[in-house]
Structure 1
Amino acid sequence: MAHHSSEVPTDAIDRQRTEFGPAPAVAGVREGAGIVRVPTPFGPSAWLLTRHQDVRELLADTESFVNGWRPQDLTDGPERDPRQLSGDRSGNLLSLDPPEHNRLRRMLTREFTVRRMRRLEPRVAEIVEQHLDAMAEHGPPADLVAQYALPIPSLVICELLGVPTADQGEFQERTRRQLDTTLPEQDKAELGREMLAYMTGLVERARREPGEDLIGMLIREHSDELTDAEIIGIANLLLVAGHETTSNMLGLGTLALLRHPDQLAIVRDEPEKVPGAVEELMRWLSVVNSGSPRMAVRDVEFGGATIRRGDLVTFDLPAANRDPGLLDDPERFDVTRPQSPHLGFGHGIHHCLGAPLARMEMRIAFPALLRRFPDLRSAVPFEEVAFASTKAIYGLEELPVTW
């Protein structure tokens, strides 16, 4: 069956999802032409890429494609990109191109090595245990999102950024509210200002006496090369990029495992299979639908279409990660399948910096939850589960569970 671009519903196609996978319309594009023109919330239309090979090529080719979205390109649309909490692009790696991007990224890469993450591991395990204790004490039914999936990554970020224990409750509450899409614009702006003020204080304190945390290390090793605005930008990016993504994976991933009891048993009982299971969850769920749109700086051919210089290009990771060209039977959720180069963490120079941290959090949090509550099950029928399908990062609104 031929899929014409007219068949694709145009309202925010890049955010459309169905249960655990991509929206059928987007999968339809992948099975058809692979590429289609879609409107964007910020004015000009963009090309949407849906095939694994095409998306990978786009993300790898920084010569032909630059970060295409610029605040001054905006029409009367929304004034704030959620990734731009600091108000400008200082320190925001996602919206930077080489060479500025490489300079900051190089400084940060050392902080996110697997070795550095190992140092955080005991603290992450402790945070996970505390939340399991709290859930057990609360008793069933509990909301797995509010009581487990949301707070854990938030506290891990506190640990990473060196937020003092006394401030962590308030910091966590502010983060939780920042992720509430129902909040009025005015409150969002106010929260943004509060967070900025808090981060500024954190950086000023670290300038005086740098600790062992990420901000302290950056100041100790690169104090003369980094402005406060850049450090604050980096801290903000880590907060936004590192919180909702991991927490949505924990919520949605638990639901996926509950729906596949045989897979759940593997994650619970076979520790050596857990890292592979985390990769399959990343591939199958792909909570990050897309990344910053790119702009073509020269004409490029993609799947029979010519992308012209100046055109915007966007991409759909959930569709790409279930591309039959990537692996066999891509719709099947199978935690034991051989590793594939999935795009759940992106690809190329913007490949997720925090991937080692996210992997570690999931590797600890999934089995710990399933072991603590061997009879864990959803407290509502699957039909009633609230998928958060309009958010930039896909996940669940809540997940009532019992045991």
Structure 2
Amino acid sequence: MTIEAFPGVRAEKCPFDPPPAIQSLQERAPLVRVRLSDGSTPWLVTRHADQKALLADARVSSDVRRPGYPMPMATVRRSEAPISFILMDDPEHARLRRMVTAPFMIKRVEAMRPGVQKIVDDLIDTMLAGPKPVDLVRAFALPVPSLVICALLGVPYDDHEFFQDNSKTLINRNASGDERLAASGRLFGYLDDLIGKKIENPGEDLLSGLVERIGRGELTRRDAAQMGVLMLIAGHETTANMIALGTLALLENPAQLDLLRSSSGDPVLVASAVEELLRYLNITHNGRRRVALADIEIAGETIHAGEGIILANDIGNRDPSVFADPDRLDLSRNPRQHIAFGFGVHQCLGQPLARMELQVVYSTLYQRIPTLRLATSVDQIPFKHDGSVYGVYELPVTW
């Protein structure tokens, strides 16, 4: 039986769908072997229920340093670069995660909504006052989450080009291990320097809160800097790509865009639309990577200790046993069981913030620019086929 290469290639005419060869594996079996660029053949878990079961299984490790972990791209020796807590197991993962949980709690995030609304409105005002067409990525999709996460962390937004350029290198599958190590080092050095400044002059931001923990001996400065790198990258890359790719998906599905636009910002429909776009698009298309700590019997197979596991959320969220007509974008469904944010103890820390930002964007942009449309054809849009986070590099629009 042929072993498919992972993550596979998306079809040019279906840029919102998972790679056809990978999606077809869901029909073949719940667990199949796939081949990575380094020649390893970890297990690919194809179905929604099995993915959730393994993501919640303590016998499955997120620790990138363990032998057998399926590395997502070319890498340097695992011990050379600092790692974030999302690539650790409990109890260390839980200990570090608890230190940054409070700012992302729903009540705290909701208190930020008026500020995010102002950011969105101000950026739309600027677009409307400027020339057309405009690249929605540069003018809107990137600035919204970047401004929000900079304010939350206490990072100067004036440095956004520096951290955006380096984060692009870190998530580029074609970048060499040395290139990513250098980018990681630059970002780590930047955050370490910023933490040093906050030790001298703390503020009310998240990084200043970590500085307090350094002072109490609860956290090392190295761990604090690495946590800052993680939140800075995750806080703008994923949401920025969802804003742009979600807009493109809606423009290509005008009936669904009309439904959202005619809702007049109805919070129930807007929230449902956000969840459906998260399910449908799955911008994290490298799958969630794990390694088995013990033999695990699941779906009629045995995953042996030390074997790599990939939980492909893009095809899990297109599982027809869970989502009716899964390849159709349907904003009226309520797909809250999707796993775009993962599941279990490692599910995305920032999901309340991402949801709130997307709700503000999707309830505002198309209301304020009701004639928004592409300024080019879809086949001219540069999609991010080379990244671990999927999206578009540019989105020329006009109105």
TM (norm. structure 2) is: 0.89
Distance, in Å, in 2 between the alignment partners of 1:139 and 1:106 is 46
Residue identity matched to 1:13 = P
Query: Helix, strand or coil: the match of 2:113?
Result: helix
Worse-superposed segment, 339-348 or 14-23: 14-23
How many Å apart are 1:72 and its aligned residue? Answer: 7.4
Confirm or deny: 8 A CA contact 1:327 1:340 kept in the other structure.
no
1:67 to 62, 67, 79: 62
Q: Provide structure 1 residue ranges, at least 5 long, that are not aligned to the other structure.
A: none
SS at match of 1:131: helix
Look up the SS of the partner of 1:352 in the other structure.
coil
User: Is 1:298 the counterpart of 2:294 in the alignment?
Assistant: yes
From the superposition, tell whether residues 223 and 72 of structure 1 become closer, same or farther in structure 2 (CA, over 3 Å): farther
CA drift of 1:189 comes to: 5.2
Could you tell me which of 90, 93, 98 is aligned with 1:106? 98
1:202, 1:116 → 2: CA distance?
24
Partners of 1:60 and 1:304 in 2: how far apart?
Answer: 18
Change over 3 Å in CA distance of 1:47–1:183 after alignment to 2: closer
| Alpha-carbon distance in 1 for matches of 2:69, 2:348 | 26
Give the deviation of 1:232 after TM superposition. Answer: 0.6
Is 2:276 the counterpart of 1:280?
Answer: yes
Q: Tell me how far apart the structure 2 counterparts of residues 85 and 373 of structure 1 sit (CA, whole Å).
A: 49
> How big is the shift at 1:340?
3.3
The 8 Å contact of residues 241 and 390 in structure 2, kept in 1 or not, is answered as yes
Structure 2 residue identity aligned to 1:282: L
3-state SS in 2 of match to 1:345: coil
Write the letter of the residue equivalent to 1:306: T
Query: Within 2, Cα distance between the matches of 1:121 and 1:340?
Result: 21
Shift of residue 335, structure 1, vs aligned partner: 0.9
Q: Please, which moves more after superposition, 327-336 or 222-231? A: 222-231
Once the two structures are TM-superposed, the CA of residue 346 in structure 1 deviates from its matched residue by 0.5
Letter in 2 for 1:253: G
- Is structure 2 residue 393 aligned with structure 1 residue 394? no
Residue number among 255, 259, 262 corresponding to 2:255 in the alignment? 262
Q: Normalised by the size of structure 1, how large is the TM-score?
A: 0.88
Q: State the Cα RMSD in Å.
A: 2.7
Out of 154, 157, 161, the position equivalent to 2:153 is 161
Of the structure 1 ranges 70-79 and 291-300, higher mean CA displacement relative to structure 2 is found in: 70-79
Contact 2:293-2:306 within 8 A present in 1 as well: yes
Deviation at 1:124, TM superposition (A): 1.7
Distance apart, 1:251 and its partner CA: 0.7
- 8 A contact 1:54–1:302 mirrored in 2: yes
TM-aligned CA distance change 1:142 to 1:275, over 3 Å: same
Cα deviation, 1:241-263, whole Å, max 9, x if unaligned, reads 22211111011100111112222
1:40 aligns with 2:40: no
What number of residue pairs does the alignment pair up?
A: 388
The letter of the residue matching 2:163 is T
CA distance in 1, matches of 2:69, 2:61: 17
2:322 to 319, 322, 326: 326
Distance in 2 (CA, whole Å) between partners of 1:187 and 1:133 is 38
Name the residue aligned to 2:309.
Answer: 313
Alignment check: 8 A CA contact 2:69 2:291 kept: no
Give the match for residue 235 of structure 2. 242
- Corresponding residue of 1:177: 165
Residue 86 of structure 1 contacts residue 236 of structure 1 at CA under 8 Å; is this kept in 2? no
- Partner SS for 2:41: strand
1:26 to 2:22 alignment: yes
List per-residue Cα deviations over 1:184-204 (Å, max 9, x = no partner).
887765554443232112212
Residues 379/95 of structure 1: CA separation in 2 closer, same or farther (3 Å cut): same
Following the alignment from structure 1 to structure 2, what is the Cα–Cα distance between the partners of residues 312 and 49? Answer: 11
State the Cα deviation string for residues 349-403 of structure 1 (Å, max 9, x = none). Answer: 1100000110111111122211221100111122322221221011112111110
CA distance in 2 between counterparts of 1:233 and 1:260 reads 40
Please say if residues 287 and 314 of structure 2, whose CA atoms lie closer than 8 Å, have aligned partners that are also in contact: no
Distance 1:183 1:35, change over 3 A: closer
Relative to structure 1, is the Cα distance of residues 187 and 32 closer, same or farther in structure 2, using a 3 angstrom cutoff? closer
Q: Return the offset for 1:86.
A: 9.5
Say if 1:14 and 1:315, in contact at 8 Å, map to a contact too: no
The residue that corresponds to 2:133 in the other structure is 141
Maintained 8 Å contact 1:145/1:251? yes
DSSP-derived class of the 1:301 partner: strand
Q: Percent identity?
A: 37
Any idea what SS the aligned residue of 2:323 has? coil
Q: Distance in 2 between matches of 1:301 and 1:249?
A: 35
In structure 2, the partner of 1:340 is: 336
Residues of 2 paired with 1:210 and 1:28: CA distance?
Answer: 53
- C-alpha contact (below 8 Å) 1:93/1:104 kept by paired residues: yes
